[in-house]
Amino acid sequence: VILLCFRRYLRTALTSCLFWNTFGLGAAMDSKPNILLFLADDLGVGDIGCYGNNTIRTPNIDRLAREGVKLTQHIAAAPLCTPSRAAFLTGRYPVRSGMASSNGYRALQWNAGSGGLPPNETTFAKLLQQQGYTTGLIGKWHQGVNCEFFNDHCHHPLNHGFDYFYGMPFTLLNNCQENKPPELDVALQAKLWLYSQIITLAVLTLTVGKLTGLISVRWKIIACFTLAGGLFFISWYSSYGFVQYWNCILMRNHDIAEQPMRLERTASLMLKEAVSFIKRNRHGPFLLFVSFLHVHTPLFTTKKFLGKSLHGLYGDNVEEMDWMVGKILDSLDKEGLKNHTFTYFASDHGGHLEAQDGSAQLGGWNGIYKGGKGMGGWEGGIRVPGVFRWPGVLPAGTVIDEPTSLMDIYPTLVHLAGAVLPQDRVIDGRNLVPLLRGRAQKSEHEFLFHYCGSYLHAVRWHQKDSGAIWKAHYVTPVFHPSGAGACYGKGICPCFGEGVTHHDPPLLFDLSRDPSEAKPLSADTEPLFDTVVRKIGRATEEHRRTLTPVPEQLSLYNIMWKPWLQPCCGTFPFCWCDKEGDSTESL
């Protein structure tokens, strides 16, 4: 009997070991790993040391790369923050969730807009929450707040699977710092003023016509026009004077902690919250998403780091962010969690080439890659750093050149947590665990589709049998001035209209031979040109058949400021509070 029991025990133990080793988990732990995600804002792929920069010091991010896996072809699903982050959170192209715009406003403009990540989208945080993870988001959200009322919080992080939120529901803007030129879309301001004038003229005409009997119209219709005109006028007026109070706020869960936020202590508060979250949840499992406000303009940097880099204010800001990464990693070490934590670092898209102050460059460097933030096709707008670490599971010092996507984080985390992917929708990301561990040599992606707003600009084909990475550009932005490499004077490059060029046949590159996209191929120079173009064209048609119509979250109505949706600490419109006081030490 004893011998029989021993045999059963031995068989069970061997089966258990086989399971954990098969999925690559046994080397580090025998339970679900903690998950720590770092996402920078507007960081260029060439801005950190492990990707070739020698003027900006990033020892902590570089350490992650040395101790883990570095991806050299890590691709954002969009070249702008709101749609890229929506794809990151859901594992789906933003066009599927309505987070891709068909107009000129490709990111949310106000906390008091009604657009945002739809409540029916399932984030990785929600799935991990269901698996027993304690989930937290520290930093930038930029996926909306409310839908119909100022406190319905339909787009809020707590409604998308996060147990705890401390950070900025919007994004940093120059408007958040005193003495900086306004950054909120100048074109939007002009359009709001034009609409205000047109509607005011219409109201006056209708009113005079009604009173004189020349026009038969109901007062209710005139009242509706008056209300609409008032909204456009208030949106125009507030875009000049109230952005700092209405957009630049910090929230703790559903409560406003600072309105407006005090930038001189924001980094300290974010760091304190991240370290505190790890300490509170050290018995795990936890998911902590640290979504940096760095390195978006206005590049507010604390005195400790000002003037320290060889790359001006932008370099100072990157080095401050790297220091924060190091402090958070130190907290993992202090709690004995380093070997039990799956860590990831990336940027939401490429560096902002057009961000300048006179001759000073305030945006990032995208290395050898053409283009930058806002450009849906060119590599500089979508190729980003991608670094993973999990000691004992992921082989240290590994470099992977295969095409991967920020959308891949979704199925990767779902796999690590033991959850199941949603079966009622298309998931565009792929599980990276086999590739990261060296169990697979090729990426599961055959095609990646590169959107600018809701417009498809380029398609990448990973021809696995030959190793070629073909990329066809159907639309490219018109650089200003000509040949400049960016759209200087326009903020960012447009996605459609007179500011783009359509290509038929498409511009074709083989990124494995020409990663800078400097020499487009043709039927005369590339024997496979027609075959590749046809193959990519068929894949594009198949992809488009998988798309279904959804409400556009970034429509003009949804991005327009609405007073009844404005988060306000106080009595509207006098929104002001400081619940943080001086509770945090300076950096």
pLDDT along the chain (587 residues), means of 10: 43 41 44 96 98 96 98 98 98 98 94 97 98 98 97 97 98 87 67 84 89 87 89 71 88 97 96 98 96 96 95 96 98 98 98 92 96 97 98 98 98 98 98 97 97 98 95 97 92 95 98 97 97 98 98 95 92 89 55
pLDDT of 186: 64
pTM for the structure as a whole: 0.89
Angle made by CA atoms 33, 412, 370, in degrees to the nearest 5: 125
Q: State residue 237's pLDDT score.
A: 67
Residue labelled with tokens 């998403």: 289
Predicted local distance difference test score (pLDDT) of residue 547: 98
Bridge partners (DSSP) listed for residue 138: 166, 290
Taking alpha carbons only, the member of 441, 381, 433 closest to residue 408 is 433
User: Longest Cα pair distance anywhere in the chain, in angstroms?
Assistant: 106
Can you give the pLDDT at residue 1? 42
Tokens of 452: 């600018």
Tell me the catalytic residues. Answer: 81, 142
Q: How far is residue 498 from each of residues 100, 135, 477, 502, 504, measured CA to CA in Å?
A: 20, 44, 9, 10, 17
Q: Which amino acid is at 116?
A: G
Q: What is the pLDDT of residue 26?
A: 44
What's the CA gap between 381 and 80, in Å, rounded? 8
